[in-house]
Structure 1
Amino acid sequence: MRNRVRFYELGLCIMNYGWWNGLKLFIKLKLKKTATLNVADARYPISLRAGNSDQLVFKQVFLLKEYDLDKDFGMAIPSDLGVIIDAGANIGLASVYFANRYPNAKIIAIEPETGNFQQLKKNTASYKNIIPLQAALWNKKEELIINNPGYGDWGFMVEENTSKKDGAVQALSVSDLMEQYNLKTIDLLKIDIEGAEKEVFESGAEKWLPKTKTIVVELHDRMKPGCSRVFFESIKEENFALLVSGENLICVRA
């Protein structure tokens, strides 16, 4: 089974980056020499931390191409997006992918957890169109605390800081972001926030959903029951075409 996985990952590297570059990338990943990775999809080097979930995120974004929206919708996605919000940006790899794919877009990369956010700043420092923001997406301005239920560095969850613990992180709604950055519309809203999508779509979404053209969301009912129910209830009046791509649900305004 382990050999099968290795051959599969080698195949992905070669399919995406050719025999020589793909083989070099595969070897670096296997040897965990990932402090500096160069791939054709990114103008600047990418840095992954060893011994955590960074490689899994890299695989999703750059090998499985889960955010290559053109392969699923083609001309339904505009080729020159203006505003992208990357909520749950982790170490910034999706933002980097979007910055290379849509170089004229303003990209707001939101990540609450400090270790991930520091790595995000490192990966996005050379991209002037990426705005890193240490915060959590929620349905209102609020102080939240971060906990790790055991899913690794890509599975941090947030909850209201009712007991006033130290180390709280600022939470903002999509409407708050639109006001703060003077956004009239959102071309692409990517949401991977480990269950907090329930709160995001539960209250206040009617203010910003009509101004949002495309949503890419991962629903986490396994972590917080009711996420899918709340999400579909929220978008039922919106004219979205829906498609499943990997772990993501893609919603494109028809």
Structure 2
Amino acid sequence: MAYLRRVITNYLSSLRAYLREASGFSDFIQVFRVRLALSKIGYIACRRPIVAQLRLKSFGSAPIYVRSHTTDISVLNEIIASGGYDALVRHPVPDARLIVDLGANTGLVDRWFLARYPRARIVAVEPEPGNYATLRSNVADFAVETVPAAIGAWERRLMLHTSSGEHGFTMVGAPPNGAAAIEVPVVTMASILTSGDPIDLLKVDIEGAEEELFADCKAWIGRVEMLLVECHGNYTLSRLTDALGKAGAKFNLLETDLKPEFGFEVGLFRRA
């Protein structure tokens, strides 16, 4: 019964968010079809994979693209139903001009950023080819530079793998048996930061590679004003704070979102 209550609660939360966000009835129907595609009635609601073109209020007037039968709907729900980025509403980035998104997935978060900071330029880094193609579609008409690679402390090629869907590709560890795996390039912060502009917001969601990234961040961390990081596994916000201190960077931790049941912690920082 507890499981059933959670399922019903999640569906009702999604339903309310879709009703609130949809610009028209067709947008509501399309997004709910995508939501149902992964359910037990998916063979009725959305039998074949589709790419839904949706106009949702939180993403501005231009459409966004969401794939059915993928984890795209989970990312969308995190933004509009679960309030995953509401910390940035409570602690806004003042007049953001440069946002760097490491682990951009399909660009939905970037579109959410642009709806709030229309003058911002974004550098979006995403290694998985299917996600990257959808990212390109979602930001095609905006000031977004896309980079088809993983981010790390040094350049190389390695295997990216996932056992949890399109939003869970990681370069940490060896691919487990049965995991989807692809070879991708790894780029560095130095290679993607082509100007000396300050980084108003750095968003990091790279499925465990944050430990490598922040272990060697002294050369660029001084340019970052605000930092939104998802820390995975044994790499906690406490360890991240220690790494920032060792790099000579002083940040105040504004908010935390601890999710031990999912194995990660999220922290929003502002330069002290």
What is the TM-score when the length of structure 1 is the normalising length? 0.83
Structural mapping, 1:232-247, within 5 Å:
232-236=241-245, 237-245=249-257
Distance 2:65 2:24 in 1: 22
> Where does residue 168 of structure 1 map in the other structure?
183
Instruction: Measure how far apart 1:9 and its partner are.
Output: 1.7
> Where does residue 215 of structure 1 map in the other structure?
227
> Where does residue 191 of structure 1 map in the other structure?
204
- For structure 1, list consecutive stretches of 5 or more residues without a partner in the other structure: none
Checking the alignment, whether the CA contact within 8 Å between 1:190 and 1:216 is kept in structure 2 is: yes
Checking the alignment, whether the CA contact within 8 Å between 2:31 and 2:52 is kept in structure 1 is: no
Matched, 1:12 2:17: yes
Distance 1:251 1:21 in 2: 39
Distance 1:12 1:170 in 2: 37
> Where does residue 131 of structure 1 map in the other structure?
145
> Where does residue 80 of structure 2 map in the other structure?
62
Q: 1:40 aligns with which of 30, 51, 57?
A: 57
Q: 2:109 aligns with which of 80, 94, 101?
A: 94
> Where does residue 39 of structure 2 map in the other structure?
none
> Where does residue 142 of structure 1 map in the other structure?
156
Task: Give the letter aligned to residue 60 of structure 1.
Answer: E
Distance 2:80 2:30 in 1: 11
**Corresponding pairs, count:** 239
Instruction: Measure how far apart 1:90 and its partner are.
Output: 0.6
Instruction: Measure how far apart 1:230 and its partner are.
Output: 3.9
Instruction: Measure how far apart 1:199 and its partner are.
Output: 0.4
Instruction: Measure how far apart 1:228 and its partner are.
Output: 4.2
What is the TM-score when the length of structure 2 is the normalising length? 0.77
Matched, 1:3 2:8: yes
Distance 2:20 2:131 in 1: 29
Q: 2:167 aligns with which of 134, 154, 174?
A: 154
> Where does residue 231 of structure 1 map in the other structure?
240
Distance 1:68 1:220 in 2: 20
- Cα RMSD, aligned residues only: 2.7
Question: Structure 1 pair 140/227, CA: closer, same or farther in 2 (3 Å)?
Answer: farther
**Bigger fraction of residues in strand:** 2
Secondary structure (helix, strand or coil) at the match of 1:199 reads helix
Checking the alignment, whether the CA contact within 8 Å between 2:156 and 2:187 is kept in structure 1 is: yes
Checking the alignment, whether the CA contact within 8 Å between 1:143 and 1:160 is kept in structure 2 is: no
Distance 1:249 1:198 in 2: 14
Instruction: Measure how far apart 1:245 and its partner are.
Output: 4.3
Instruction: Measure how far apart 1:34 and its partner are.
Output: 5.4
Task: Give the letter aligned to residue 67 of structure 1.
Answer: Y
Task: Give the letter aligned to residue 222 of structure 2.
Answer: P
